[in-house]
Structure 1
Amino acid sequence: MLEQTSGVDEAGVVRWELFLILLLAWVLIYFCIFKGVKSTGKVVYFTALFPYVILIALLINNAQLPGAIDGIKFFIVPEWDKLLSVEVWVNAAAQIFNSIGIGFGSLMAMSSYNSFNNNVLKDTLTISILNSVTSILAGFVIFSAFGYMSHLQGIPISDLAVDGPGLVYIVYPQAFANMPVSQLWAVMFFFMLLCLGLDSEVVNRTFAMVEVMVTSLMDEFHQQLMTFFKRKELFVLAICGAACLLGIPLVMQVGIYVFQLMDHYTAIVSIMFLAFFEVILIFSIIQFKPARYEDYVFPPWAQGVGWVIAMGSIIWIPLGAVHTLWVLPGSFMQVTH
């Protein structure tokens, strides 16, 4: 389906089927958020709750399949020696940061709409607990399917456990092909992914990230933007249109490599730097591994592009500090009495 090229240095052509899906995704995003955060909240009632229905239904179905118990045991029985690996802790932290939305600015953008007396502690605990419970529930669903696939293929579960897009779009659909009423489960599963794509861990990646851009620019340049666009809905349309155009490289034949490169350098490098700046940055650099897609290792120039992508968010920390020190009155050489 991807018709992927042999590497990131071979762009290929646009996959028009995927481009139309990209366009449809941004149309859905626009109509979900163009009226502001209130309309976003209404959409989330469905997109955030429906996946739970599908996950529970899939778990009930998967638990009845042969080998499912072995997969669940593989999931819940810990390998204690892994706790000694710093990489495991870094990846676990990156997963939590991405799933909750820490460091992206989306939480601050959304919280700015809260009432002044809103109970932030209650919201924080609720979201954190629900996020962890959801991750555990999804783990039972995924690994029960892994156990079933291991039973069918006669290979260890550890050889099936992969990460990245291969898990969702390659390994798991193989499990559907052998399930009763496979077409129904496949449709339900990918419809759930659509909901998660719109919602993405409580509107972090789509609604909220667009809202971050809209809110930031509107707060800073409201008069100029309204003079040009006249209405906020048109400004949101321009943001969504620009984001759609920026997504075109991802729907080319080179797209899977572009995705893996961006995901590696933003989901792990940038976010860990931004959020764990004072605690774990050092460990991230010591344990850093270059991006790769399956057996393909990105060439040095592509790794350099990845670092440029990562620095796009990292560089603002030192620049902000230097700017603040520059514009504030006083001097390092000035002695106070």
Structure 2
Amino acid sequence: MEKQPLPSDDISKETEADGGYGEEDTQLASEPAARAGWNSKIEYFLAQVGFSVGLGNVWRFPYLCHQNGGGSFLLLYVLLMLVIGIPLFFLELAAGQAIRQGSIGVWRHISPRLSGIGYSRCCFVCFFVALYYNVILAWSLFYLGNSFQYPLPWEQCPEQGNTTVKECALSSNTSYFWYRKALDITDSIDEMGSFNTYIVLCLLAAWTIVCLGMFKGIKTSVKVMYFSSIFPYVVLFCFLIRGFLLDGALEGVTFMFYPKLEIWGDVQVWRQAATQVFFALGLGFGSIIAYSSYNPKNNNCHRDAFTVSTINFLTSVLATLVVFAVLGFKAKVKVQDCVVSNTEELVELFNNGFVDHSLMPAFNYSDSASVDVDDYRSWFKQFGSKIPVNLSDCDFEKEMQKGVEGTGLAFIAFTEAISRLPGSPFWSALFFLMLLNLGLSTMFGTMEGILAPLTDRFKILANNKTKFTIFSCILGFTIGLLFTQRCGSYFVTMFDDYSATLPLIIVVVFETFTVSWLYGADRFLDDIERMLGWRPYVVYKYLWKYISLLGMLGLLAATTIRMVMKRPTYMAWDKETATEVYLQYPDWALAVLTSLIIFAMLPIPVGFIRALLLEKNKRASRDSEIGQYSIVNTDENAKRLRLKAKICISQCNRATESCWCLHLRASCRLDSKINVNIPCETYGSPLRTSGKKRKV
């Protein structure tokens, strides 16, 4: 007998009420045909690419590539993308497209006992990410607004009277603007401080933009994505062309891609590469499932998985080229400034009689701006140790090794490089507009991962989707005010590093295990074959069951061990020394951090226990029903009714109404003579389906 599809939504509710009965025997099916869909494949691609390509591609991937061996890290990243990233991405695409529901509906169908996975994703993990991610958009809006002035406000240190502000003089103009003007940051997370008015207003603007883009669902968000998904590529190519015309760009890119094969033996490098693959594709958020649920059933989601993953990787490489071309220029300028400064100091020492004439360089030190860097470094190597003051060797590689990521790259290092470009306000506005659009596309996907599952699950929310969207954005803004305090950036770091990482990994481990082992990889491939008309390669079976699952378990173990063995720390700003320092989280912050992780995971065990209790109650109810209908349990009636049930089930694929056979229960909605409320023991021996095809 052909395996039967999952029941429709009303029937699946009845199945869930059974406490998970039949979870071994259910198959993938679709939502009703009335579900909204994409107007074109281009819209879908823009949405999926816009969600997966985010800020991490620009400010996280280049840093990891730089710190972990350049070209060697790229090879490792591609390997993990092929054996973990793409298979799991394909799994989520196929599940969403086949069932045509959000993550809650998907897991209620695949495994009702683990339906908590869907709630964990949308109600907690996605919401946590949306809270702090929109704060980053608020920061981008703040910098974008400050880009429309000349000179840029972070180009020079402010002065008090005739003296440069001490905090700026001890650090740099861009660091001072970021920590003091933008964030007005406290010295630690223990010092709460007041709300930052400018950031509050920018956060309100960010949530307003998200709300306007989402309040009519994908019909409105996709219109914004035509710009927000394409514009960043225009900016990246503009920066790439401009960057390669700068002095030092080639050296920066060469330094970046210099291979270090020894990194393959470092466990931490593997952990970082796997984590980047995981977050770059957006696995575990539920947004992939939500977006693919609007696709037609015959859409080639296998090709989509490869296409989106390839675009994501190439975008990361493009962003890396841009970042290191610009940082190479910045390093070259700083090295040249270093040579000028040291030469002037050397001349002053010579004029005051502290340096002998024999130690003076052969180059024209009277014009310090014309001194060649190589000439200076050659002289320093020979005589630098004999100079009575500590002069720097002005090494280009040392400047490039000062790797920065995240906000440090975007709001400090990159802004410093931009400020040295001709027409700096234009390039600054372009850069932060790009960051804003990258973040918006990801936010649209994150919000869809929240809204779609809940509106699919609860009819009252579906009937009031616009109001629910507005309410969600208002709630997000209200809670997000936590991040607009003077210590708010420390909470952003906490949420980014811990509240989402571990829960997302756990969710994907459950997802992979449930599909490949509980539901069955072969059955899942059968469902995809029925949906697409062709069977995916058998290698996916082994990737899902072993390689991808073991890879995610390894990542989970490495992340957990790292959190347990080393007390979590965060980077703080010391106002007195004007330097970045690492501090340990206080006990209350660790309690908050632990609570966030527990709350994010709580729906999974709660849903499982609830399903077991419902299952127990249902079994007791069935035992009583057998006694009530024992009068009709004759051999003749049993044969007749079992035959009708077999005929009904054999016609299931051609039926317009739902018809299925679950654990110890045969039901047929096509034949009114068979009472669907009577357990199949009433008709004789139970009819059961299995994962394998069998004759009836």
TM-score normalised by length of structure 1: 0.89
Aligned pairs for 1:1-337 within 5 A = 1-154=182-335, 155=395, 156-200=398-442, 206-223=443-460, 225=461, 231-276=464-509, 278=549, 279-280=553-554, 281-288=556-563, 289=566, 290-293=568-571, 294-297=580-583, 298-329=585-616
Counterparts in 2 of 1:302 and 1:118: CA distance versus 1, 3 Å = same
C-alpha distance after superposition, 1:232-278 (max 9, x if no partner): 21221111110111110111101110000100003433323332465
Instruction: Say whether the 8 Å CA contact 1:62–1:144 is kept in structure 2.
Output: yes
State the alpha-carbon separation in 2 of the partners of residues 49 and 157 from structure 1: 33
State the alpha-carbon separation in 2 of the partners of residues 237 and 59 from structure 1: 39
State the alpha-carbon separation in 2 of the partners of residues 218 and 59 from structure 1: 42
Instruction: Say whether the 8 Å CA contact 1:104–1:209 is kept in structure 2.
Output: yes
State the alpha-carbon separation in 1 of the partners of residues 189 and 216 from structure 2: 39
Instruction: Say whether the 8 Å CA contact 1:103–1:271 is kept in structure 2.
Output: yes
Instruction: Say whether the 8 Å CA contact 1:264–1:291 is kept in structure 2.
Output: no
Number of equivalent positions: 324
State the alpha-carbon separation in 2 of the partners of residues 177 and 222 from structure 1: 53
Which stretches in structure 2 are left out of the alignment for 5+ residues? 1-181, 336-394, 511-548, 572-579, 621-696
What letter is aligned with 2:498?
Answer: Y
State the alpha-carbon separation in 1 of the partners of residues 400 and 490 from structure 2: 25
SS of alignment partner, residue 295 of structure 1: strand
Counterparts in 2 of 1:312 and 1:90: CA distance versus 1, 3 Å = farther
Mean CA deviation greater in 319-328 or 106-115: 319-328
SS of alignment partner, residue 287 of structure 1: helix
State the alpha-carbon separation in 2 of the partners of residues 71 and 273 from structure 1: 38
State the alpha-carbon separation in 1 of the partners of residues 303 and 327 from structure 2: 36
State the alpha-carbon separation in 1 of the partners of residues 189 and 438 from structure 2: 28
What letter is aligned with 1:57?
Answer: C
Task: Name the structure 1 match of 2:360.
Answer: none
Instruction: Say whether the 8 Å CA contact 2:213–2:221 is kept in structure 1.
Output: yes
SS of alignment partner, residue 6 of structure 1: coil
Instruction: Say whether the 8 Å CA contact 1:34–1:233 is kept in structure 2.
Output: yes
Task: Name the structure 2 match of 1:203.
Answer: none
Instruction: Say whether the 8 Å CA contact 2:207–2:477 is kept in structure 1.
Output: yes
Mean CA deviation greater in 239-248 or 310-319: 310-319
State the alpha-carbon separation in 2 of the partners of residues 292 and 10 from structure 1: 14
SS of alignment partner, residue 292 of structure 1: strand
Which stretches in structure 1 are left out of the alignment for 5+ residues? 201-205, 332-337
State the alpha-carbon separation in 2 of the partners of residues 178 and 240 from structure 1: 38
What letter is aligned with 1:269?
Answer: L
Instruction: Say whether the 8 Å CA contact 1:69–1:147 is kept in structure 2.
Output: yes
Instruction: Say whether the 8 Å CA contact 1:19–1:248 is kept in structure 2.
Output: yes
Overall identity of the aligned pairs, in %: 34
Counterparts in 2 of 1:266 and 1:185: CA distance versus 1, 3 Å = same
Counterparts in 2 of 1:185 and 1:108: CA distance versus 1, 3 Å = same
Mean CA deviation greater in 312-321 or 172-181: 312-321
Instruction: Say whether the 8 Å CA contact 1:260–1:292 is kept in structure 2.
Output: yes
Instruction: Say whether the 8 Å CA contact 1:66–1:151 is kept in structure 2.
Output: yes
What letter is aligned with 1:292?
Answer: Y
State the Cα distance separating 1:306 from its structure 2 match: 1.7
Instruction: Say whether the 8 Å CA contact 1:146–1:160 is kept in structure 2.
Output: no
SS of alignment partner, residue 306 of structure 1: helix
Counterparts in 2 of 1:126 and 1:305: CA distance versus 1, 3 Å = same
Instruction: Say whether the 8 Å CA contact 1:10–1:254 is kept in structure 2.
Output: yes
C-alpha distance after superposition, 1:198-226 (max 9, x if no partner): 113xxxxx112222222222222223x47
Counterparts in 2 of 1:291 and 1:323: CA distance versus 1, 3 Å = farther
Instruction: Say whether the 8 Å CA contact 2:252–2:400 is kept in structure 1.
Output: no
State the alpha-carbon separation in 2 of the partners of residues 326 and 86 from structure 1: 42
Counterparts in 2 of 1:231 and 1:318: CA distance versus 1, 3 Å = closer
What letter is aligned with 2:473?
Answer: C
State the alpha-carbon separation in 2 of the partners of residues 276 and 179 from structure 1: 47
State the alpha-carbon separation in 2 of the partners of residues 251 and 172 from structure 1: 23
- Could you say what the CA RMSD is over the residues aligned between the two structures, in angstroms? 2.3
Larger radius of gyration: 2
State the Cα distance separating 1:129 from its structure 2 match: 0.3
What letter is aligned with 2:582?
Answer: Y
State the alpha-carbon separation in 2 of the partners of residues 134 and 219 from structure 1: 33
SS of alignment partner, residue 458 of structure 2: helix
Hey, which of these two has a bigger chunk of helix by percent? 1
Counterparts in 2 of 1:146 and 1:160: CA distance versus 1, 3 Å = farther
State the Cα distance separating 1:292 from its structure 2 match: 1.5
